[in-house]
Structures are given as C-alpha cells and as structure tokens.
Structure 1
C-alpha cells in the first residue's frame, strides 16, 4: 500500500517521531494543544499542568514524575508535559488473585 493508506502504521510512526524529537519514551497518548496558554504549578510534592481552553475554562492535570522529577521535555520551539488528564481505566482482575483485600465496592 502507498504511504498514507495505512493510517494505523502512520499514527504509530508519528508517535515514535515525536518521542524521538523530545528525546523521551513515548508510552502515552499525544494531545497537541499548540495555541493554548499553559503553566506548571507545584503543590508540595506534586506538579500540575494548568491550561486554558478557548472558552477560558481552566483544566488541571497531574504531571507524571520519573525518578522524582516531573516529565517535562523542552526543545527550542516546543514543550511536552506528560500528565494524567481525565483518563479513567477499569482494571479487571480474577477474584482470588489479589495480594491484599483493602476495600470493595458493590
């Protein structure tokens, strides 16, 4: 197939190119917010990415840390902040395989 006809492979390769560009591991989704205002704030041991949507709504995301340092990658023209922003994952396990039983719902 000609280039551009394999969108999944193109997407995977584009993600790898972005990770290479910033010199980081690319095990996360990419969310380009090129024209939005943003800042980073620290609250005790936590770092937060704050950015404002076009309707002036402020969004906050918890910045992921590695070896105690926030994952913020900068180049001359761009910055990439690796953060957790409204992603919920339901982890499903088989009962009886848990190490400790802390709390159950339902």
Structure 2
C-alpha cells in the first residue's frame, strides 16, 4: 500500500552565525543531516563546511516543499537572515540526532 502522507523539510544550513547559507529540501532530515556532517551532503556544503541546521519547515507534500525551497532561494540574503533570527535568534544548531550513538560516531569523523 502506498503512503499518502510523508514528511518533507526545507532547511537552512550555515557554518556560523551570519555565515554562508545553504537552502535544501529533503524527505529525510536525519539522514540528510548525517550526510552533511560527513561532508557527503553536497559539494557546496562540504566546501564551506555547512553543518549547522539553523532553520527548517516541515511539509506534507513534496511539491509544497519544493515550491518553498525555490521561493527562499530567490529571497535577498537579509530576508533569509531575518527569517532565521525570527525563529532562532541565537543561531543554535536545531538538529538533534534520533540515535545518540550517531552523535558519537559523527564526532569522530
């Protein structure tokens, strides 16, 4: 039976507060974050060491997530910063692995 409901995320990564920003979309935030941390997420995120999840939005349908990703990518940089700081004023890392063992493995990478 095919699932009619799935979670999708649009997310913003950075390397430091007010640093380089990356906007992505995924159907699996935990797997995607683990790949970013291991420098396997994308060439861009690997090059700029973007591993801090500072913002995300959750969607039920992939087409809505992709539309939002495209919208955010077209925004001015300051608008993106304002969006992050509205929800996460201290630019804290919002990603918490589901598996504590994952955290230990990733720290040694």
**Larger helix proportion of the pair:** 2
**Could you state the TM-score of these two structures normalised by the residue count of structure 1?**
0.21
**Could you state the TM-score of these two structures normalised by the residue count of structure 2?**
0.20
Higher Cα Rg, which structure: 1
**Larger strand proportion of the pair:** 1
